[in-house]
Amino acid sequence: MNTAGLGDDRHSNIISLTGDGNYVLGFQKATFGSWYLAIYPFDSSTGMAGESIWNAFVPQPNEYWVQVPGTPSLIFSEDGNLEMWSRGQLQWSLALEGLGVTHLEFNLRNQLKSVAGNLVLYNKRNHVVWQSKPREEGKNDFNDTENKLSYYTEFTPEFVFTLQPEGLQCSPCMGENPSPGDVRYRNIFSHTEDGKYAFGFEKARRGYYLAIYKFYPSNNSAGRSIWRAKSKGGGLVRADYGATLTLRQGIIEVRNSRGRLVWTRGTRGFGYWYQFYFNTGNLMLISDTDAVVWESSYSNGYGN
């Protein structure tokens, strides 16, 4: 049962469910007569709310939670944007106009292939355009610089990796593959330690697959891949010599040696951060509002 509008003296629930152990999307009271938009656990039987796991915020460099004065309203607009209004003024927005968002989903509890407390916006192809997904302890530690590689594509708008017979070329290069592999595995991102995951091109019968696999730099060997790029029909995408992998704002794409697009995934123009986690083998595209726009572990390899 939806209990929207209920809560306690500090919380006003927008989307919630009766019972204990469920997450809620709602307004959380701040200071000076203002409110935060937040996601938090809520027990409808006791009226008790837990600590928020996500709050609407202004991104870096001046990152802060948005406090909306008066009596705020949350609007899912016709053009697919999520907005907070109060006193006749727009107070906060996800700025998703023009990205084709058609529907919204909120996961109140853990379910198959979903994360409790995740607010997700999809386009008409059912691709994720934006999600609030909370940081899961032990899965992806955003502060673990030893096991994470990051690319920020606002000021360096394009990173290009070219597959060549003599090896992998990069422009610009940032020390991203300290263990470049051999002719069987051309690592784009890899670690100096054995048993960490690598992201790169994996040798196939004809050409290479774009893949994620465990890599052992001590003897240039790799384990079984956990992810491979796939076409719409589910076939594995092959890259030939001269093919390129490009990372830029909101786009990750593979083009063959003739420049034809063979695989892409992401949201055009949305999301500056690319992060790869060596411990988990997860590649993520993250927006400036700290939302996970796309990640390999949930994509099953499929492109647009």
109-114, Cβ contacts within 8 angstroms, sequence gap of 24 or more: 109/17, 109/21, 109/22, 109/23, 113/298
Confidence of residue 202 (pLDDT cuts 50, 70, 90): very high
Cα–Cα dist 108/69, whole Å = 27
The confidence score (pLDDT) of residue 304 equals: 56
The confidence score (pLDDT) of residue 254 equals: 95
Confidence of residue 29 (pLDDT cuts 50, 70, 90): very high
The confidence score (pLDDT) of residue 245 equals: 95
Is the confidence at residue 63, as pLDDT, over 90?
no
The confidence score (pLDDT) of residue 110 equals: 58
Query: Is pTM beyond 0.85 here?
Result: no
Top-confidence residue, 87 or 289: 87
Q: Which residues pair with 65 in a beta bridge?
A: 57
Cα–Cα dist 171/162, whole Å = 9
Share of the chain above pLDDT 70, in %: 88
Share of the chain above pLDDT 90, in %: 46
Top-confidence residue, 232 or 290: 232
The confidence score (pLDDT) of residue 10 equals: 87
State the chain's mean pLDDT as an integer: 85
The confidence score (pLDDT) of residue 267 equals: 67
Cα–Cα dist 197/277, whole Å = 8
The average pLDDT across 149-156 equals 83
The confidence score (pLDDT) of residue 135 equals: 54
Is the confidence at residue 197, as pLDDT, over 90?
yes
Is the confidence at residue 246, as pLDDT, over 50?
yes
The confidence score (pLDDT) of residue 140 equals: 47
Q: Which residues 6+ apart lie within 8 Å of 52 measured at CB?
A: 28, 36, 38, 39, 40
Cα–Cα dist 44/32, whole Å = 27
Cα–Cα dist 32/182, whole Å = 61
The confidence score (pLDDT) of residue 138 equals: 41
What letter represents residue 111's amino acid?
Answer: Q
Distance separating the N- and C-terminal Cα atoms of the chain: 36
DSSP 8-class letter at 181: B
The confidence score (pLDDT) of residue 229 equals: 93
Contact at 8 Å (CB) between 95 and 117? Answer: no
In degrees rounded to 5, what are phi and psi of residue 121? -115, 130
Q: Which residues 6+ apart lie within 8 Å of 125 measured at CB?
A: 304
pLDDT in tens, 87-112: 999 999 988 887 788 999 998 875 54
Choice among 199-213, 229-243, 265-279 with the minimum mean pLDDT: 265-279
Measured over all CA atoms, what is the biggest interatomic distance in the chain, rounded to whole angstroms? 66
Choice among 74-78, 87-91, 148-152, 256-260 with the minimum mean pLDDT: 148-152
